């Protein structure tokens, strides 16, 4: 790809970026959010067209107009957003457009066998007969990966494909990538997890604000060097230091359950100024816990906040009680993508006295609120009137956070607050969370990223199949302890004690 340039309204997403791919190479694309990684990938697999620049394959210039023509040229992509037909079976999705034909229509036996082969290739433990909608997001992502790999393309693009995968599935995928590489496939690998980059890539292209910063050989660089190149400054302390002690109990949860059985009899407490981490595998009920506390899903149990009992099951009750909630899916649950920043930020204030006057929104108050949010949270946007769609992921997430924090909540539930955003924005968000904790609010941070839980929180709860299985002190435990508890439902140390007692008996 030569000097690719792409402009979006108000922003140059890519300017004169080159990218060379060689067969048998894993090439990582790294950079902060909004640096243009995904845009570059989209140009390569024909989802969007570059405004300037050319794409050459085997020395001849090709114009890639659609993802279909990219496929014909041997370029397949796996993206963060799932593109599966939810109501069809796994087999039908895997072989979409190329189901084998028998004498009487489709040869299902052969189709299922082919699908099995494709799934086995990446070691995915999925029944090929099941409907896609019955699978978790993680498994759906695996189906998507299997589909792309089974097209036997010469160029494979993994655009944040691992962001919803568990550690185990990621490891399987990385070994598969290694195998494909040895078969001569060129692979573009986009991720925010630098560890993965170092474990699989040979070279990396670093992008910053749509410009090419460096192309480095992985053998000649290290993690902090790469981060420096990405952000253009040194990251000293990503998580920041706590300056105050944890205070009195704020939230008391007793026997919280949801009728769908995703949470069963959970009891815990949160103190003022405390950041409580919640960990667990995909589908362990950790996200559901946040939704249940806020009232986004029906739930039963006894929840008291600051001594007052909370009526569960309604988001407006949650808001009134002083709970702030940042959902894990900002596109589908948090933001009004068709509206501008101002309209998004004033959304929770519509029933507040002082914000409206005889049912009419006070314009000055609204603009002041939006301006303050944007300024305090350093949202990069042309103005408060610009549409939310045009913002990068990190800025959108900052917007969601600022909206939540602006209501002065005494308890904040954050579900995956840093999913799919860059290191710079992450660090800023950690700072905002620390600030809020200092104002003696309680914070529940639900996250799949263990490093941030260990670095930021005061206590970590681990969920396993809807139940609270163990509690960790981040100062004395490591990633393995938590990962083990999340996978097995038992704490590593408890297991060690078990073994020890068995030894004694012997």
Partner 1 sequence: MYLTGAARRWVGEKSLRSSSLFQKASLGRLGGVIIGLVLVCVYLSFSNPLFLTWGNILNIFRAQSVIFILAIGMTFVILCGMLDLSVASATGVASMVLGMSMRAGCGALPACILAIVTGVGLGFINGFLIGIVRISWFVTTLATLSIYASVILVITHGSTISLFTFDRFKSIQYLANNDIGPMPIILLIIGLLYLICAVVLHRAAFGRAVYAVGSNPEAARLNGINVPVTVMIVYTIAGLTCGIGAIQQVGRLTAAVPITDPNQMLAVIAAVLIGGMSLKGGEGGVTGTFLGSLFLGIIQNGITLQGISAYWQGTVTGLILIMAAGLAVLRESELRHRIRRALRAVFR
CB of 368 to partner 1, least distance (A): 11
Give dist(CA 476, CA 304) in Å, integer: 30
154 binds partner 1 (CB under 8 A): no
Exactly one of 88, 106, 333, 410 binds partner 1 (CB under 8 A); that residue is 333
Of 126 and 401, the one with the shorter C-beta distance to partner 1 is: 401
Exactly one of 158, 325, 430, 472 binds partner 1 (CB under 8 A); that residue is 325
Exactly one of 107, 138, 167, 209 binds partner 1 (CB under 8 A); that residue is 209
Give dist(CA 152, CA 219) in Å, integer: 28
- Please tell me whether residue 27 adopts helix, strand or coil conformation: strand
Instruction: Say if residues 65 and 452 touch (Cβ distance below 8 Å).
Output: no
210 binds partner 1 (CB under 8 A): yes
Exactly one of 98, 339, 439, 497 binds partner 1 (CB under 8 A); that residue is 339
Exactly one of 18, 168, 385, 473 binds partner 1 (CB under 8 A); that residue is 385
Interface with partner 1 by CB under 8 A: which range of 147-155, 167-175, 351-359, 454-462? Answer: 351-359
Give dist(CA 134, CA 88) in Å, integer: 10
Of 202 and 365, the one with the shorter C-beta distance to partner 1 is: 365
End-to-end CA distance of the chain: 66
Site for partner 1 in 246-285 (CB under 8 A): none
Interface with partner 1 by CB under 8 A: which range of 91-99, 141-149, 317-325, 481-489? Answer: 317-325
131 binds partner 1 (CB under 8 A): no
Which helix (H) or strand (E) segment holds residue 435: the answer is helix 423-438
Structure tokens at 56: 């050459």
- Please tell me whether residue 308 adopts helix, strand or coil conformation: strand
11 binds partner 1 (CB under 8 A): yes
Give dist(CA 245, CA 327) in Å, integer: 27
Exactly one of 29, 194, 201, 296 binds partner 1 (CB under 8 A); that residue is 296
361 binds partner 1 (CB under 8 A): yes
- Count Cβ neighbours within 10 Å for each residue of 449-466 and write b for 16 or more, e otherwise: bbebbbebbbbbbbbbeb
Query: How many CA atoms does the CB half-sphere of 476 hold within 13 Å?
Result: 6
* DSSP single-letter state for residue 332: I
Interface with partner 1 by CB under 8 A: which range of 4-12, 134-142, 162-170, 464-472? Answer: 4-12
Closest CA to 143 of 95, 87, 200: 95
Q: Residues in the site for partner 1, rule: CB under 8 A?
A: 10-12, 15, 34, 48-49, 51, 208-211, 232-233, 294, 296, 315-316, 319-320, 325, 327, 332-339, 343, 346-348, 350-351, 356, 359-361, 363, 367, 371, 374-375, 378, 380-386, 403
């Amino acid at each position: 790809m030569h000097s690719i340039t792409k402009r979006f309204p108000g922003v140059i997403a890519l300017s004169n970026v080159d990218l060379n791919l060689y067969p048998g190479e894993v090439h990582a694309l790294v950079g902060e959010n909004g640096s243009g990684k995904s845009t570059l990938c989209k140009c390569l697999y024909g989802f969007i067209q570059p405004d300037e620049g050319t794409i050459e394959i085997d020395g001849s210039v090709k114009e890639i107009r659609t993802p279909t023509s990219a496929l014909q040229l041997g370029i397949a992509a796996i993206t963060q957003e799932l593109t599966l037909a939810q109501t069809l079976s796994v087999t039908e999705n895997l072989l979409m457009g190329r189901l084998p034909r028998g004498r009487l229509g489709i040869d299902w036996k052969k189709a299922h066998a082919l699908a099995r082969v494709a799934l086995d290739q990446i070691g995915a433990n999925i029944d090929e007969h099941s409907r896609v909608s019955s699978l978790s997001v993680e498994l759906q992502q695996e189906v998507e990966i299997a589909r792309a790999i089974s097209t036997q393309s010469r160029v494979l693009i993994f655009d944040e494909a691992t962001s919803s995968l568990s550690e185990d599935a990621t490891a399987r995928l990385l070994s598969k990538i290694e195998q494909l590489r040895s078969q001569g496939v060129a692979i573009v690998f986009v991720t925010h997890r630098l560890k993965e980059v170092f474990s699989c890539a040979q070279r990396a292209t670093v992008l910053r604000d749509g410009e090419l910063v460096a192309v480095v050989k992985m053998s000649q660089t290290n993690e902090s060097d790469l981060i420096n190149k990405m952000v253009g400054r040194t990251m000293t302390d990503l998580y920041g230091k706590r300056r105050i002690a944890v205070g009195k109990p704020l939230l008391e949860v007793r026997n919280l359950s949801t009728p769908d059985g995703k949470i069963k009899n959970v009891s815990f407490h949160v103190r003022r100024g405390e950041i409580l981490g919640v960990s667990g595998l995909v589908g362990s009920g950790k996200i559901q816990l946040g939704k249940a506390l806020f009232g986004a899903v029906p739930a039963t149990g006894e929840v008291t906040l600051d001594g007052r009992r909370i009526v569960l099951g309604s988001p407006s009750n949650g808001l009134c009680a002083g709970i702030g909630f940042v959902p894990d899916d900002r596109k589908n649950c948090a933001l009004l993508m068709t509206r501008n920043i101002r309209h998004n930020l004033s959304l929770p204030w519509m029933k507040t006295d002082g914000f409206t006057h005889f049912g009419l929104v006070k314009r000055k108050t609204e603009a002041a609120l939006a301006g303050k949010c944007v300024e305090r949270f350093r949202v990069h946007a042309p103005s408060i009137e610009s549409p939310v769609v045009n913002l990068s992921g990190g800025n959108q997430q900052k917007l969601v956070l600022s909206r939540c924090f602006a209501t002065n909540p005494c308890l904040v539930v954050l579900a995956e607050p840093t999913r799919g955003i860059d290191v710079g924005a992450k660090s800023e968000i950690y700072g905002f969370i620390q600030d809020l904790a200092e104002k003696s609010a309680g914070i529940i941070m639900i996250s799949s990223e263990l490093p941030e839980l260990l670095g930021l929180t005061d206590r970590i709860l681990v969920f396993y199949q809807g139940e609270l299985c163990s509690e960790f002190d981040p100062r004395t435990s490591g990633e393995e302890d938590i990962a083990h508890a999340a996978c097995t439902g038992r704490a590593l140390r408890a297991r060690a004690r078990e073994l020890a007692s068995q030894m004694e008996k012997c």
